[in-house]
Amino acid sequence: MSRRHFSSEQMRNIMPLEEVLQRYCVALEPCPFCCRQQSVGLYMSREPRVVCTECGAEGPHNGGGIFDTDQCAHSACLAWNKRTPPTDYLRVERRLT
């Protein structure tokens, strides 16, 4: 995921959480970097992707081979919500020793 900040023009293209839920039936997870949920939205462009307006994090656009913007947006939302479960490093370390 890359990080950047958004211009006021780009901010107008960010669909808020509630609208994403209503349109794509996907409840977006909080940002994995700053843990803010209200700053997460769907940036609508040729390659839609989920973004965090607080820290500038961006999820993948998942546009490979998908030409329908709605399908691509839905796929981007699902990709944003995919998280690696936390690992209990202490337990793993004990097993290795």
> In terms of pLDDT, which residue wins out, 46 or 58?
58
Residues 68-81, mean pLDDT to the nearest whole number = 90
Contact in structure between 40 and 50 (CB atoms under 8 Å):
yes
Instruction: Say which residue, 86 or 34, is predicted with more confidence.
Output: 34
Helix (H/G/I), strand (E/B), else coil: 43: strand
Between CA 85 and CA 73 the distance in angstroms is 24
Residue matched to tokens 């919500």: 81
The arithmetic mean of pLDDT across residues 41-70, rounded, is 84
Average pLDDT, the chain: 82
**pTM of the predicted model as reported, rounded to 2 decimal places:** 0.77
Query: Which is higher by pLDDT, 74 or 89?
Result: 74
Contact 22, 74 (CB under 8 A): no
Over residues 33-40, the mean pLDDT reads 91
